[in-house]
Structure formats: C-alpha cells, structure tokens
C-alpha cells in the first residue's frame, strides 16, 4: 500500500476495462475513533450490490468483491490508517492508498475511475511547505488548511541538524561542545574556553542555514513549486532571508519557536500566514473567469464546456468541491445526464470533464461551493 502522489494519478486515469470501482472514506489514526472504520467500508461496499448481481457470471469482477471482503476483515490494516482512504479496483488491479487528508465517503462504479477528490487532494493551490528552523535543527512539513505532515528528510540531502552541515573538523568540535554542555549545563559562551568562539558559532549557523536552503530548493521547492513558509524565532528570520536564494519563500512567516509546538498549533499559525496568498490566487482565477465570460472566452454551461474541452480550448476548469452530477460524456456533443438505462454504469460528469481537460494539458481548480462563480458546478476559461 502506498501514499497517493501525483505519479499515481496517471495510473488511476489509465484504468481501461470497466467496471472500475472507486471508494473514498474518512479514516482515523487511533482508537477508539478507528473502531468503526471497517464497518463504514463494508457499508460502502454494499452500494455495489447491483453491480455484483449484474456481473454474477464474471469471475474477475467477483474476485474484486472477495478482495473488498478481505480488506474489510484485515484488522491490522485498520489499525494503521491516516485521515482518509482511497481504493480503486478493476479485474487486473486492486490499489489502496492512505490519504493524509479526510475525504467524503463515496462509492462509485463506472467505466472510469472517479478522481475528483484526488484532484482536490493533489492540487497545489492551497498547499505549502513549512520550514521549522532553529540554530541547530531543521524540520520540513507539507500542509494545507486542514492537515500538516512532516516530510521525512532521512533519505534527502537536507541537513536536519547543524552538525550535519559542517565539515568534519567543526563537526567534531560542535559534538564535543554539545557533550560538555550536557554534562555541565554551561551556555554557548563557555565555548570560548574550548576552541569555539561566538563568531565561529555565528558563522556555523549561517553555514547551516545556507546548506538547508540549498537542499530545500533542490529537493522540494523546485520540483513541487509549492510556496515556502519559514517558522523560526524573530531574530533568525533576518539571517535566513539574507542567505536564502529560494524564490518560493514567502515574505511573511511564523515568528515563534515552532519547534516547541505541536503540529496542530503550527498548522494554524502557518495557515494564518498562507491564507492571504491562497485567497489572492483564488480571487485571481475567479476574476479571470468573469472577465473571460464577458469576452465570450468562458462559460458555465456544461455542454459548451465539453465541446471546448474536446477542441482543446479550455485552459482552466473550475469545479465545485464535493458536487456530483450523475451521467456520462460519450463524445463532443453527446452528454447524457443521469442513467438512461437500468444497470448502466454512471459516473460523475464533472469528474469526466476534469479528465478531459487534464488530458488536453489544461488546469483544474476544485473550489469550495461558497466561492464558485457559477451555479452549474463548473466554469471554464478558454485559451482562445
């Protein structure tokens, strides 16, 4: 089982032979909150009973239900979940992903995988990196409004302590001083009697900050393009910003000893810093839509958006979060709302529309209902 990342989305979008089963549900990390998670999963599986009957003679599909039952009965699995779960099943694959963000419970069987909740989960518009820095340690987190998860730096070239960033001679001297301080309780000033002056310490802190900055840029900021928030004591902001070359570093930061806080407390402070940035971006894309619509380069009519998506015109698609419109997109001018025939597989038109736009290298925004600029659940901005 893997954590869902952007590279997995292509696999999910690539499932070809229907039926394709998609399950989403919130889960819990600890007892007693996780006691009912398996039962909720079983309830969602029950929604697939019509498909189970429809494919009664298909051993491949019946095998999917055997895997569902095995997962529901796997006690150890339900003891090691996160905030959310996504499960995708076909005749040839059974993929289970832990999600570090809660999702709405949902069970869909259709001719394609249902991916809209993952688009919201993966989109970078409301996500950021948070660097918690002291003069001796560095921790990196990735988060959004609701969740903050520490990034494991053990396999990266990011020094997570000052000693890791120094050359061997200075590293040994700092290690000796650290042991001396532990044994005696003396402060850094005592280092002058042990071959390490305050100016040396200041230079080493600067070297540490430079090493952290270079590694975070190369390993995280450039690949992800996420904004970076600095969390450090006020006196350390100036030094880090002076040496930093990270173009993703936000001007404002968390000026506090975040290393002494729990994750939830840090998340609230980080979101207070990041929210104006997110709101400005959201206001910007909504403003672009309204301007485009006034110029005939945008619309909220789903049939028109489908045509433009097939023609490769849609540069940005705005979708209402947690809204589903049952139906199918069968072609450029063939949009079927609802299920035309009993037993026919039906997905979400908005979900299919997102896949169309992504397939043409367009951008998809999943937006809270209260901020959507249309009542139809969708709005588009055309390239031309």
Q: What is the pLDDT of residues 10-54, one digit of tens each?
A: 899 899 899 999 999 999 988 898 999 999 999 999 999 999 999
Domain with CATH 3.30.1330.30 in the chain: 296-382
Neighbouring residues of 282: CB distance < 8 A, sequence distance ≥ 6: 125, 365, 367, 371
- For 206-244, the pLDDT digits (tens) are 888 998 999 999 999 998 889 999 999 999 999 999 999
Question: Sorting pLDDT into bands at 50, 70 and 90, what band is 154?
Answer: confident
Contact 384, 325 (CB under 8 A): no
128-279: CATH topology is: Nucleotidyltransferase; domain 5 (3.30.420)
2-122: CATH topology is: 3.30.960
CA distances from 116 to 49, 104, 111, 332, 365 (A): 23, 11, 15, 21, 10
Question: Sorting pLDDT into bands at 50, 70 and 90, what band is 164?
Answer: low
- The pLDDT score that the predictor gives to residue 95 is 95
User: How far is C-alpha 63 from the chain's CA centre?
Assistant: 31
- For 84-140, the pLDDT digits (tens) are 999 999 999 999 999 878 899 999 999 999 999 998 888 878 899 999 999 889 999
DSSP-assigned states of every residue in 13-82? HT--SS-EEEEEEE--SSTTGGGGHHHHHHHHHHTTHHHHHHTTT-HHHHHHHHHHHHHHT-HHHHTS--
Question: Sorting pLDDT into bands at 50, 70 and 90, what band is 57?
Answer: very high
- The pLDDT score that the predictor gives to residue 347 is 81
As a whole number, the mean pLDDT across the chain is 87
User: In terms of DSSP bridges, do strands 228-232 and 94-99 run parallel, antiparallel, or are they unpaired?
Assistant: unpaired
- The pLDDT score that the predictor gives to residue 136 is 87
Q: Which CATH number fits domain 296-382: 3.30.1330.30, 3.40.50.300, 3.20.20.210, 3.30.360.10?
A: 3.30.1330.30
- For 275-296, the pLDDT digits (tens) are 999 999 999 999 999 999 999 9
- For 358-369, the pLDDT digits (tens) are 999 999 999 999
- The pLDDT score that the predictor gives to residue 270 is 97
3 state DSSP class of 204? helix
Neighbouring residues of 372: CB distance < 8 A, sequence distance ≥ 6: 318, 320, 379
- The pLDDT score that the predictor gives to residue 196 is 46
Q: Looking at the predicted structure, is the pLDDT value of residue 176 above 70?
A: no
Local structure of residue 249 (DSSP, 8 states): B
Domain with CATH 3.30.960.10 in the chain: 2-122
């Amino acid at each position: 089982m893997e954590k869902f990342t952007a590279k997995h989305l292509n696999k999910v979008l690539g499932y070809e032979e229907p039926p394709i089963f998609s399950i989403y549900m919130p889960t819990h990390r600890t007892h007693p909150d996780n006691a009912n998670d398996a039962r909720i999963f079983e309830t969602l599986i029950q929604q697939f009973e019509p498909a189970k009957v429809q494919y009664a003679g298909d051993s491949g599909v019946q095998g999917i239900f055997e895997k569902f039952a095995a997962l529901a009965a796997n006690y150890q699995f339900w003891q090691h979940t996160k905030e959310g779960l996504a499960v995708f099943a076909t005749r040839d694959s059974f993929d289970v992903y832990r999600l570090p963000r809660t999702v709405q419970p949902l069970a869909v069987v259709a001719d394609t995988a249902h991916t809209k909740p993952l688009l919201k989960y993966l989109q970078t518009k409301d996500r950021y990196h948070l660097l918690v820095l002291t003069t001796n340690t560095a921790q990196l987190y990735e988060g959004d409004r609701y969740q903050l998860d520490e990034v494991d730096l053990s396999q990266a070239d990011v020094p997570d302590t000052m000693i890791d960033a120094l050359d061997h001679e200075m590293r040994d001297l700092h290690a000796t001083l650290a042991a001396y301080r532990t044994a005696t309780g003396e402060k850094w000033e005592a280092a002058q009697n042990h071959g390490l002056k305050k100016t040396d310490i200041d230079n080493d802190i600067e070297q540490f900050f430079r090493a952290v900055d270079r590694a975070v840029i190369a390993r995280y900021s450039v690949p992800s393009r996420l904004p970076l928030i600095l969390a450090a004591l006020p006196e350390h902001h100036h030094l880090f910003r002076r040496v930093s070359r990270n173009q993703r570093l936000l001007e404002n930061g968390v000026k506090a000893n975040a290393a002494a806080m729990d994750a939830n407390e840090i998340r609230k402070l980080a979101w207070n810093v990041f929210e104006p940035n997110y709101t400005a971006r959201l206001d910007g894309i909504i403003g672009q839509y309204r301007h485009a619509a006034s110029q005939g380069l945008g619309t909220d009519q789903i049939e028109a958006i489908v045509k433009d998506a097939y023609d490769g015109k849609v540069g940005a698609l705005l979708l209402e979060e947690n809204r589903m419109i049952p139906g199918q997109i069968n072609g450029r001018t063939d949009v079927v709302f609802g299920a035309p025939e009993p037993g026919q597989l039906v997905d979400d038109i908005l979900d299919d529309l997102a896949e169309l736009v992504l397939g043409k290298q367009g951008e998809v925004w999943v937006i809270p209902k209260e901020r959507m600029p249309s009542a139809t659940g969708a709005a588009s901005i055309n390239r031309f």
